[in-house]
Chains A and B, each alone.
Chain A
Amino acid sequence: MTKTQLSEPAEILVKSICARYKNDEHELINILHELQHELGHLPAELQSAVAHELHIPVSKIYGVVSFYSFFTMLPKGKYQISVCLGTACYVRGGELVLEEFKRRLNIKTGETTKDGVFSLSCIRCVGACGLAPVVTIGEKVYGRVSPQQVRRIIDEYLMLEEG
């Protein structure tokens, strides 16, 4: 683990969230959920701080963070693009849509663009199988997405960025 120091506000946040859960190690997943919600990701130094509060080895925290797909150690982009690869979306061409996003953004699944604007991930079934293939960006759901719509979707957000 790196020795980077955690910022003071982040440290206070860790202390207060852990304290709210009575520093109970069984509440680890709930604590991590809250921290990720507040800070966006769970870097190594943050995990060390949580380990310190809960009096458990940092390896246990890392074990949990790396086990669950919901947790991330890397910061996500401002707009998180998730391409559904549930079975219904897969058979209706979800993979082609994912490929097109990868190609256009020039990143792999799980990565963030260098400017921090987009990150790309795949998800498994959002429950909108009637609209397959589905892409979600934040709260917004795009249904029946075809590869040639990908460029338009990206442009929509780039325009937001440019104001």
Chain B
Amino acid sequence: MTKTHIFVCGGIGCRAMESEQLRKNFQREILVRGLSDEVQVVTTGCFGFCEKGPLVKILPDQTFYVQVSPDDAAEIVSEHIIHQRKVERLLYIDPETRKRVTESKDMDFYKRQFRIALRNCGVIDPDNIEEYIARDGYSAIAKCLTEYTPEKVIDIVKKSGLRGRGGGGFPTGLKWEITRKSENSQKYVVCNADEGDPGAFMDRSILEGDPHSVIEAMAICGYCIGADKGLIYIRAEYPLAIKRLKRALQQAVDTGLLGRDILGTGFNFEIEIRYGAGAFVCGEETALIHSMEGCRGEPTFKPPFPSVEGYMGKPTNVNNVETFANIPVIINKGAEWFSAIGTEKSKGTKVFALAGKINNVGLIEVPMGTTLREIIYDIGGGIKDGKKFKAVQTGGPSGGCLSEKYLDTPIDYDNLIEAGSMMGSGGMIVLDENDCMVSIAKFYLGFTLDESCGKCAPCRIGNKRLYEKLDKITSGEGTMEDLVRLKSLSLVIKDTSLCGLGQSSPNPVLSTLTNFYDEYVAHVKEKKCPSKQCKDLINFTIIEDKCTGCTLCFRNCPVEAISGEKSKIHHIHQDKCIKCGLCYSKCKFEAILIE
């Protein structure tokens, strides 16, 4: 029995900072010092606090080290493990009290979170089914198969109030019930792991950190709807998630928790993996199904819903990763426990990928009904570099930008829609005073243009026209009439597009028009970008009184657009300047003016 565990975060952010090398160094130290019997090094899934990565947690004392480099492994082993002394310099510093914090539960980032879907991420070794089982894993499927009828399980899921976490928010239990009632000898359970929102990575983190929770839930779903086959549709760009999923599937089969006659109950269920190939529209369930059938991922009109006619024409229940990850907990703890969390119509928790101009970037899970203010200021630690908050974007390309007045709105499916945004899959990007809202709307439209499948005209042509108008405005060529057209065209696209992608694609435009109309007007009337981001509307010049001739701007300019000698005033040549802003960010004397 090993006494101490060293958990190294294996999330993508930490791996990008060499956490894999860190793990190897830990292992080598343990080996060299002959501690292999007492200490075990484990790569876990994402801890969530990406901003401070690479992260290391030591058990049983729960010490949480931040920004650990591969070179720190030796010191942690000799100090912490051998001499039982904490490595103070690697402990998190509370930004307010300036004191070192030892355990994650005492950090602002973690203490306001409530983890259901992420319960095992960063807590267990995802490659070890026994660790999952030790945390009540597969007890929910056992309970379902031996104690409950499928109807009873569906009833529990319905009563829990769980709604689809992929974006739409359709009640999960109801979906299961409809699929159960569709009569057919062959049905399918599909897990949508084709996370496409450019700014959301929770599904990936769950699959990398706790793949068994999804497998268990899919089997429970199969039992409920009467399916013996599950398919996981996953992005091919997620190699680690695929690897862990494959290993987990094999372990589940080997342990008799997947395959034929599960737990001797006569219930059969197997799971296959299907690969996505990079198409955002495949997050839409009919498009996803066509993609799994080997076709272009184009959506089709609903009804028939997949619950009635889905994969290969058979009844198919599609849920996303995060939705599934909630299921085992709901079965184990009961519908009442789950429905006590959250708001009246949105129960449970939601995982958000918190990013952008915020101090604590990371993956968080909070009860529904938490306000944006709590997320941004309490958990997220406020805006980066002391800048002023401008907006928060939720729901990715289908969502909208919410201004300051929405900071105290409790977040749930309905409130976000009412505010002109949506939950989406849980991307949450914080924007500060330097972000131009017209450019942000244009950025999302650009994404939609790339990703529109082209099947229906409103989405294919309408979004193109919207993009052109936005481009015109950010170039300083826009007119007030364009603003009127932007809105009317947006409404037409919303009303007439075939699928969810087109129906929601104008949301970034509409929400910025509503909440930041002044910025649009400034671009149009004054030909100015208030945030000084739109390249066609700004010029960089040197304030002669302030320039000391330090040559820093000259040396950093990537296009040699700055001339000047040491100790003499420098000049920016407008014909060469690409307006990258480097000189502005480099100048120590505030001698660069943007106008």
Contacts and interface: CB of A to CB of B under 8 A. Distances in A.
A in complex with B:
yes
Interface of A: 24-30, 32-33, 60, 63-64, 67-71, 85-88, 90-92, 96, 99-100, 103, 123-132, 134, 141-143, 146-148, 150-151
B355 A96 contact: no
Contacts of B294: 24-30, 64
A128 B362 CA distance: 9
Given A30-B274, A87-B429, A130-B53, A92 B356 contact: yes
Nearest to A32: B277
Given A29-B275, A96-B580, A128 B13 contact: yes
B196 A88 contact: no
Contacts of B357: 91-92
Contacts of B276: 68, 70
A130 B361 contact: yes
A91 B200 CA distance: 15
B393 to A, nearest CB: 7
B522 to A, nearest CB: 19
B196, B198, B353, B431 interface centre (most CB from chain A within 10 Å): B198
24 contacts: A28-B295, A29-B274, A30-B274, A32-B277, A33-B236, A33-B277, A63-B296, A70-B237, A70-B277, A85-B198, A87-B198, A88-B199, A100-B558, A123-B237, A127-B11, A127-B12, A127-B205, A128-B13, A128-B16, A129-B13, A141-B12, A142-B16, A143-B17, A146-B582
A85 B295 CA distance: 27
Contacts of B279: 67-69
B198 A91 contact: no
Interface in B7-55: 11-13, 15-17, 50-51, 53
A87 B356 contact: yes
Interface string B272-314: 0011111110000000000111111100000000000000100
A143 B427 CA distance: 20
B580 A99 contact: yes
Contacts of B429: 87-88, 91
B244 interface: no
B362 A127 contact: no
B306 to A, nearest CB: 16
B511 to A, nearest CB: 14
Given A91-B356, A130-B362, A134-B16, A29 B201 contact: no
A150 B280 CA distance: 29
B15 A141 contact: yes
B409 interface: no
Nearest to B202: A127
Nearest 5 pairs of A and B residues by beta carbon: A127-B201, A130-B50, A68-B277, A141-B16, A129-B355
Contacts of A141: 12, 15-16
B427 A87 contact: yes
Nearest to A26: B294
Interface of B: 11-13, 15-17, 50-51, 53, 196-201, 204-205, 236-237, 274-280, 291-297, 312, 353, 355-357, 361-362, 393, 396, 427, 429, 431, 435, 440, 443-444, 447, 450, 453, 556, 558-559, 578, 580-582
B364 to A, nearest CB: 12
Contacts, number: 143
A91 B453 contact: no
Contacts of B280: 124
Contacts of B196: 124
B147 to A, nearest CB: 38
A32 B294 CA distance: 10
B556 A148 contact: yes
Contacts of B353: 127, 129
A87 B443 contact: yes
Given A87-B199, A124-B447, A132 B277 contact: no
A142 B277 CA distance: 24
Given A25-B294, A28-B294, A68-B297, A127 B236 contact: no
A99 to B, nearest CB: 7
Contacts of A146: 582
A149 to B, nearest CB: 11
A35 B405 CA distance: 52
Nearest to B353: A129
Given A91-B431, A132-B361, A141-B12, 16 more contacts: A25-B294, A30-B275, A67-B297, A68-B279, A69-B279, A91-B440, A103-B578, A123-B237, A125-B198, A125-B201, A127-B353, A128-B50, A129-B50, A142-B16, A147-B582, A148-B556
B329 to A, nearest CB: 24
Contacts of B197: 125
Given A88-B355, A141-B15, A141-B16, A100 B580 contact: yes
A3 to B, nearest CB: 25
A24, A32, A88 interface centre (most CB from chain B within 10 Å): A88
A127 B204 contact: yes
A146 B585 CA distance: 11
A83 B260 CA distance: 45
A114 B197 CA distance: 33
Contacts of B12: 126-128, 141
A32 B296 CA distance: 13
A133 B169 CA distance: 31
B558 A147 contact: yes
